[in-house]
Chain A
Amino acid sequence: MQKKSGGGGRGKGAARGADKAQGQRRGLFRRRKVCKFCADKIDDINYKDVKLLQPFVPERAKVLPRRISGTCAMHQRKLRTAIMRARVLALLPYTAE
């Protein structure tokens, strides 16, 4: 398989860029983030599955951004709808009180 250079800011290309910048960060090692749903092969992001969604709504009950969780665009979108539905049913909070 040929190397694909560039192509998508969040895949391998982004990780390689981080390697280059490592000198400036003085050896701060960053693990490459992988989308949890792709890695675990979770097809169905369901609003009823509170256990699955909970890690993506930390303390302030905001949706965890992609840049932190490493979730891919497709799954982040599905995650968002699931969280919004779960919030309607008070399975997840809208805000922390």
Chain B
Amino acid sequence: MSTRTYELVYVVSPETSDEQVTALHDQVQSIVGRYNGTIEKTENWGRRKLAYEIGHHKEGTYVLEVILGTGELMKELDRRLKVLDEVIRHLVVRVDEEQRVVERHRNERQATMRRRRVARGLPPDIQEGETPRSSTDDRDDDRFGEMGGV
């Protein structure tokens, strides 16, 4: 079974106490543990105003969990969270592929920047106190073609 990275965000109704939120987190953790997954990161965003009312609630406590695990695990978590009354909304998103793409883009961009800087006879990394050039006066940057009439 392949392990993937998922993000789980759940919104807890504003009536629940902090202890209950922690209890909920423990519950999630135990399910994750049962399916041999791991929780990579937990973030409590605290109480936020909802953009629209959900079941007459105007506020909610947001909790984010980054989970490493299988699809089966997330299916089970999803099922459990649907049943729980204090969780008014939840969302599971698979993020590993997206992250890989973002990372590749970032690396590519840096490599291009370094190559261009070397071609211009500069050290590959930006030195301290150097003013960044605007992309329009970068002659090696062929994305813009010519700047007509500006």
List A residues at the B interface (Cβ < 8 Å): 1, 3-4, 12, 15-16, 19, 39, 41, 43-44, 47-48, 85, 87-95, 97
Contact = CB atoms under 8 A, between A and B. Distances in A.
- Which among A1, A47, A85, A95 has the greatest number of chain B C-beta atoms within 10 A? A1
B142 A1 contact: yes
B146 interface: yes
Interface in B2-49: 9, 11, 48
Contact of A4 (B54, B93, B109, B145): B145
Nearest to A97: B52
Contacts of B60: 90
B50 interface: yes
A90 B50 contact: yes
Interface of B: 9, 11, 48, 50-52, 54, 60, 62, 64, 89, 91, 93, 98, 102, 105-106, 109, 135, 142, 144-146, 148-149
Given A41-B109, A48-B64, A91 B148 contact: no
Which of B52, B106, B148 gathers the greatest number of chain A CB atoms within 10 Å? B52
A69 B89 CA distance: 31
B48 to A, nearest CB: 8
Contacts of A92: 51
Contact of B146 (A3, A47, A85, A95): A3
A15 B50 CA distance: 40
Nearest to A4: B145
Contact of A89 (B11, B109, B135): B11
Contacts of B106: 43
Contacts of B89: 88-90
Which among B9, B105, B109 has the greatest number of chain A C-beta atoms within 10 A? B9
15 contacts: A1-B145, A1-B146, A4-B145, A15-B148, A19-B148, A19-B149, A41-B109, A85-B91, A87-B51, A89-B11, A89-B62, A90-B50, A90-B60, A93-B52, A97-B52
A43 B98 CA distance: 10
